Amino acid sequence: MLFITETWLLSPSHLPTSWSQIHLYGSPVAGTYRGSMGVSVLISPHCPYAVPQIPMPSKYALAVKIGSLRIVCLYLPPTMPTHDVLHVLSSIPLTHDTILCGDFNARLGSVTGDYASNSRGLALSLEK
């Protein structure tokens, strides 16, 4: 499986590949024929598991199930206020076998060896 964040696809577009695809289509960008803020997952034809999409309460999260794992991939735009980011994250139902991935647009500073930090990164590093 390959997750892609910040895809520019608009419904009903697909990527030119033989892999199965699930898309969280982004919002249309004014004056262009493209979207922004989408998330896609490509599933290899050799994947031995069914990979169904799981409904999510947020337009920023694409979730799938593979075996017993639930993988939730997010694209949280840099312009989204930190309190909205925390609301989106807290709305995701978590289980012991949930993996969160994607682009959180959080700068975590020394936690990850980054040279910078931001309020979003600080808030996420403090969340329990």
Domains contained in the chain, CATH given: 2-126 (3.60.10.10)
CB atoms within 10 A of CB 85: 21
Q: What is the mean pLDDT of residues 35-39?
A: 90
Rounded CA-CA distance 75/115 in Å is: 22
Helix/strand/coil (H/E/C) assignment for every residue in 31-63: CCCCEECEEEEEECCCCCCCCCEECCCCCCEEE
* Residue with the larger pLDDT of the pair 127 and 50: 50
Kindly report the pTM of this predicted structure: 0.87
Q: What angle do CA 85, 54, 24 make, to 5 degrees?
A: 60
Quick: pLDDT tens for 59-115.
Answer: 999 999 999 999 999 999 988 998 998 999 999 999 999 999 998 888 776 666 777
